[in-house]
Amino acid sequence: MESLTQRAALLRESLQKSQSVTDAVVAILGSFDSRLSALDAAMRPIQVRTHAVRTAHENIDRTLRSADVILIQFDRTREAEREIQKGPHENLQGFLDAVDRLRSIERFFSSNRSYRSSDGVLNHVNALLSKALVKMEDEFQKQLSQRSKPIEPDRLFDCLPSTLRPSSESHPEGGKAGTHSENQQNSEAAVYSPPALIEPKFIPFLAKLAQQLVQAGCQQQCSEIYSEARASALESSLKHLGVEKLSKDEVQKMPWEILESKIGNWIHFMRIAVKLLFAGERQLCDQVFECSQSLRDTCFAAITKNSLATLLSFGEAIAMSKRSPEKLFVLLDMYEIMCELQADIDTIFVGESCSHMRDSALDLTKCLAQTAQKTFSDFEEAVEKDATKNIHTDGTVHPLTSYVINYVKFLFDYQSTLKQLFQGFKREDGTGSELATVTMSIMQALQNNLDAKAKQYKDPALMHIFLMNNIHYIVKSVRRYIFMKEGSKQYLNWSSSGCVGMI
């Protein structure tokens, strides 16, 4: 019992000591809290100053970075200005790069108008861009004027297929040698190579200038400069070739001998103009104005409008002139070349800007067809109504028979052309108008006329001999023609037939 009491006393004493230690520790910790509070209060001003210093440092860094960006823009502006002052003729790519840099600088300062110097820089940059545009316009005009030279006839002839090139044996004005059928076959199989209107190495230079002018909103000025230079070169090329600007009155008053030669030249000129010159202009427009489809079409239309109108005007004057049998074959030649070129015209003169020119060419084709069709009717009527009194007393072949047979034989050289011409066309009597039908009508008119002429003979025997000789001549001529066509392939020459008009 005493031992338990002693132990309890010891335990109580230990607890009392532990409580004393705890109270002492609590007191010490309480003094630390007050000291830390005092220390925190003392450190707070230092922390505020440190944060301010850090913020100021960051602001300085940002300002320096912004200043570097602005200084870079100033340096780029000075570099670009030096290139602009030099102009594009020395170093086009460097000049265009300088323009691009100025536009980039203009966008930078436009989006950062808060900079104090932004307005001044923008004004300076815009002034440089305006000066650059003027220099580009001047250079564009200068280069086009220097490079846009007329194409000489010999160079154009070299671009023609060999079968269509003028030679010492050809017509002196550039006409084709050989028969109509042979020439038609040659033209159908021909391959044309349009000439380079401007040296190829300069085309990228012009295309870059055009692109910059279009991007700057100078489409109108660019179009006018280009169209004026190229139209002048095109018209000069045609003039050197021999194309004349003739009014319809002048054409219709010309003697037939002169007009016939000019028609032959016109056919040659149309082929060269469409397949070489107009095709070359279209190709050049597409290359220079690759950046704008609308400019390609409008410029091409402006360049070729007058030249095409000059050519078509001559054809229209012929189509509207007084009809006569000897004009039928040149009308067929003109109709044939227009049909041959129609697909090229539709391809080259593409776009809304060229629609009027396409329509004008098609109208001429239709007008030539109508005139040729009416000439057939006129010829048939003239044959039937021919009132020539000078028949031979011996009943030999009448000159009218020889003339009509040679005329019909020449028609058969135009079979494919006439087939196309007669499509959908009906005669006044309601019959079809295939070549065979038309030929039979002409031959029937001839027979009716011969029957009337035969009655002028008082001797019945001589009358029948006259009819027999003429019919025999017709049959013999047709058989000889068929033999020559299918056998030797040697065609009759119209100029040597000796028939120059109605008797």
Taking the C-alpha atoms of residue 186 and residue 176, their distance in angstroms, rounded to an integer, is 10
pTM above 0.85, yes or no: no
- Do residues 108 and 73 make contact, with C-beta atoms less than 8 angstroms apart? yes
State which H helix or E strand residue 137 sits in.
helix 118-147
As given in the structure block, the two tokens for residue 65 are 């970075």
Q: Residue 422: what pLDDT?
A: 79
As given in the structure block, the two tokens for residue 489 are 């392939």
How far is the CA of 155 from the CAs of 146, 186, 237, 341, in angstroms? Answer: 19, 20, 11, 21
* Residue-level length of the chain: 503
Nearest Cα residue to 173 out of 159, 157, 193? 157
Measured in degrees and rounded to the nearest 5, phi and psi for residue 244 equal -110, 150
Class of residue 79 by CB neighbours under 10 A (exposed 0-12, middle 13-18, buried 19+): middle
Local structure of 322: helix, strand or coil: coil
- Do residues 314 and 268 make contact, with C-beta atoms less than 8 angstroms apart? no
Q: Residue 136: what pLDDT?
A: 85
CA atoms lying within 13 Å on the CB side of residue 446 = 26
Q: Output DSSP code: residue 457.
A: -
For 254-292, what is the HEC assignment? CCHHHHHHHHHHHHHHHHHHHHHHHHHHHHHHHHHCCCC
Each residue's pLDDT, cut to its tens digit, for the chain (503 residues) gives: 677 777 777 777 777 777 777 777 777 766 666 666 766 677 777 767 766 666 665 566 555 455 455 656 655 666 667 777 777 777 778 778 877 777 777 776 666 655 555 666 677 777 777 888 888 889 999 999 999 999 999 999 998 888 887 754 444 344 433 446 555 555 555 678 899 999 999 999 999 999 989 988 889 999 999 999 999 999 999 999 999 998 888 988 888 889 999 999 999 999 999 999 999 999 999 999 998 888 999 999 999 999 999 999 999 999 998 888 888 889 999 999 999 999 999 999 999 999 999 999 999 999 999 999 888 888 888 888 887 766 777 788 888 888 898 888 888 888 888 888 877 555 555 554 567 777 888 888 888 888 888 888 888 888 988 899 999 998 888 888 777 665 544 433 333 333 323 22
Nearest Cα residue to 205 out of 96, 300, 129, 86? 96
